[in-house]
Structure 1
Amino acid sequence: MIEVIKDGGRINISFPYNPDYIAKIKTIEGYRWYPEGRYWSVPYSDGSVERILSIFSGEEVEIDPFLQSAEFKKKREGILSNVEKELKLRGYSQKTRKAYLHHIGKFLCYFMKDPVLLDESHIKEYVLYLIDEKRVSWSYHNQAVSALKFLYDEILNEHRVVSGLPRPRKENKLPVVISKEDVILLLEAVSNIKHRAIMMLVYSAGLRVSEVVRLKIEDIDENRRLIRIREGKGRKDRYTLLSDVALVALREYWQACRPKDWIFPGSKPNSHITTRTVEKILEATRKKAGIHEHVTVHTLRHSFATHLLEGGTDLRYIQELLGHKSSKTTEIYTHVSNKDISKIKSPLDTIRKGGGK
């Protein structure tokens, strides 16, 4: 058994006699041999634990918990720093960078080991833990896989470890949509003029929550009745609708609050309102309106698209307004629209009207 223990400002190492290991220990500056205890000792410094473990690579090493946690923390911080730098260099959005760092950080803490020492079986063990124990959503699962592939492919250059890691099958869930009547109930339940302007813009323009919070004064084009969305999903700019009714609410809010840069500033100086705050506003409004269905900001975006489709707007225009890269994504709204379904007569109605029993 190989034991590595911290002793004050030094690290004590004991192992069965092995001339190769001894020769390597002697390359560490400040090494000592203690014959009475039959162990070697080296100074404790940055990188010393990692160097010792590299000497005994492939062997079972019992390491002092203090050393393990201290060395692991330093290693983890170094990896996450490298990941963040690489993500920035490649132009990933702040939201994606935050998500990847979250997933990679959780993964590193799960094993408490240098990720280079892990193999494909460890990666799959972790993903199964997310599925079976944490019961994560499809999107969380898929993003975790993306983050792990980025870590091993782009940072560690260990492609073989994740080459066989499958992605989850795409969920075939239909978007949740509320009726136009419920939209009216929601908007009428908002008394705060700032909150009302946010809700109206989200529904009337089909905005994502991350888009409405980042709107600036110059993004509103009153003359053309358009809203410019800067760096939406996929870092793409686009234009969407500026409703006349929403514009009235926006003017009322601007006259009362006079925002300078961000249309909806947050509590901190020079910052916009947070997505979490908007989600809380909607949840409180839903309860006040007496709507029992689960409604999120994205529900209003789905409802915008579905109501446009039911009103006869071409799918190609809806795709452009929503900022969808693929028309396949927009086509899902054809499955929740009642435009054509409502015209179909149930066979029961036909039978009863025909006098059948």
Structure 2
Amino acid sequence: MLVQLSKYFSCSPEKVTADQVKQYLFYCKEERNLSNSHINQTISAMKILKRDVLGQPWNEGIKINRPRRNKHLPTILSKQQINAMMEATLNLKHRAIMAVLYSAGLRRDELLNLKMVDIDSQRMLIRVNNGKGNKARDTLLAKKTLGMLRDYYRHCHPKPTQYVFEGWKPAQPYSPTSIRNIVKRAAARAGIKKNIFPHSLRHAFATHMLEDGANLKLIQKLLGHSSLSSTMTYLHLAAIDPSVKSPFDQP
């Protein structure tokens, strides 16, 4: 970044002034259409060079404002794609992992910390004790998911003793990398070209709940969001009601 800045003004970076930095950033944004992240990294690089390397004053009063990071809406899987991923996965443990991630809207770390005692088949709830911010909550236990968990438990050897999904060592949770690989392989086998992660299943859960008419406050509670504004992101992701027509198609 500093090399590009230096080339732009045909001088070494330490000789570049604050006004020139502003000029260069304007060029990056308006002419080259570079991301806000790139611009912020350039500002940070100049600050480190001037203040920490050269020992020169970096006057924050110059007001080189950092732009907000670009917000990217997450990729949302359809219900059909979720089902295709399940059907493409023959391993009972792997299928149960994806079922819990999707049907309960869990984060990956919440899944890894899930214990046998957290599955409440009487009330059809999953207790999340190690949620973000160490907040406990209850979320849904789907009938299909309960069936998959029972199939997995019935056939797995050795049986899990503490965590629902254990690694090679007894009473030790599964690894985060393994969860990521399971989801990515399932997506590839299902012919899904999108870049899919375990969190994609949580996004799908929230979006599909909203599309099916669930209250936004309920979704917030199930996801464990401290702020409703975080949950409101899914308003942008939910599919548009097919009954809504463009004014161009109205009679």
1:298 is aligned to 199
Within the alignment, does 1:318 sit opposite 2:219 as a pair? yes
Aligned to 2:116: 217
1:265 aligns with 2:166: yes
Cα distance, 1:338 vs structure 2: 1.4
Corresponding position of 2:128: 229
Q: Secondary structure at the match of 1:330?
A: helix
Q: Take 1:236 and 1:166, find their aligned partners in 2: how far apart are those partners?
A: 35
Matched, 1:192 2:91: yes
Distance 1:261 1:136 in 2: 46
Task: Pick one of 55, 66, 75 that aligns with 1:176.
Answer: 75
Contact 2:85 2:190 in 1 (8 A): yes
User: How far does the alpha carbon of each residue in 1:198-231 deviate from its partner, in whole angstroms, 9 at most, with x for none?
Assistant: 0000000001111111111011011011111112
Q: TM-score, normalised by structure 2?
A: 0.71
**Counterpart-to-counterpart distance in 2, 1:248 and 1:225:** 12
Tell me, in whole angstroms, the C-alpha distance in 1 between the residues paired with 2:36 and 2:138.
Answer: 31
Which residue pairs with 1:338 in the alignment? 239
**Structure 2 segments unaligned to the other structure (5+ residues):** 1-33, 45-57
Show CA shifts across 1:259-301 (max 9, x none): 1111111123432111110100111111111111121111110
Aligned residue pairs, count:
199
Question: Equivalents in 1 of 2:67, 2:129: separation in Å?
Answer: 31
Q: Deviations over 1:177-204 (max 9, x none)?
A: 1111111111111100000000000000
* More strand, by proportion: 1
Tell me the residue number matched to 1:244.
143
Q: 1:253 matched to which residue of 2?
A: 152
Q: Distance in 1 between matches of 2:36 and 2:224?
A: 24
Superimposed CA distance per residue, residues 85-106 of structure 1 (whole angstroms, 9 cap, x where no aligned partner): xxxxxxxxxxxxxxxxxxxxxx
Percent identity (aligned)? 42
Name stretches of at least 5 consecutive residues in structure 1 with no aligned partner: 1-134, 146-160
Instruction: Indicate conservation of the 8 Å contact 2:113/2:130, yes or no.
Output: no
Counterpart Cα distance in 1 of 2:188 and 2:135 = 34
2 CA distance for matches of 1:168 and 1:255? 54
Secondary structure (helix, strand or coil) at the match of 1:228 reads strand
SS of equivalent to 2:226 = coil
Deviation of 1:349 (Å): 2.9
TM-score for the superposition, normalised by structure 1: 0.51
Larger radius of gyration: 1
Secondary structure of the residue aligned to 1:286 is helix
CA–CA separation in structure 2 for the residues paired with 1:343 and 1:269: 53
Contact 2:161 2:170 in 1 (8 A): no
What amino acid is the match of 1:178? L
Residue 167 of structure 1: CA displacement?
Answer: 7.7
Task: Please say if residues 161 and 171 of structure 2, whose CA atoms lie closer than 8 Å, have aligned partners that are also in contact.
Answer: no
Residue 249 of structure 1: how far off its partner (Å): 0.3
Q: 1:167 to 1:193 in 2, by over 3 A?
A: farther
Aligned pairs for 1:115-194 (under 5 A) are 169-194=68-93
- Seen in structure 2, the aligned counterparts of structure 1 residues 137 and 268 have a Cα distance that, compared at 3 Å, is farther
Instruction: Describe the shift of the 1:186–1:253 C-alpha distance in structure 2 as closer, same or farther (beyond 3 A).
Output: same
Work out the CA distance in 2 between the residues paired with 1:318 and 1:286: 25
2:249 maps to a residue whose letter is D
Structure 1 residue 348: Cα displacement:
3.9
Partner secondary structure for residue 343 of structure 1: coil
Higher alpha-carbon deviation: 286-295 or 166-175: 166-175
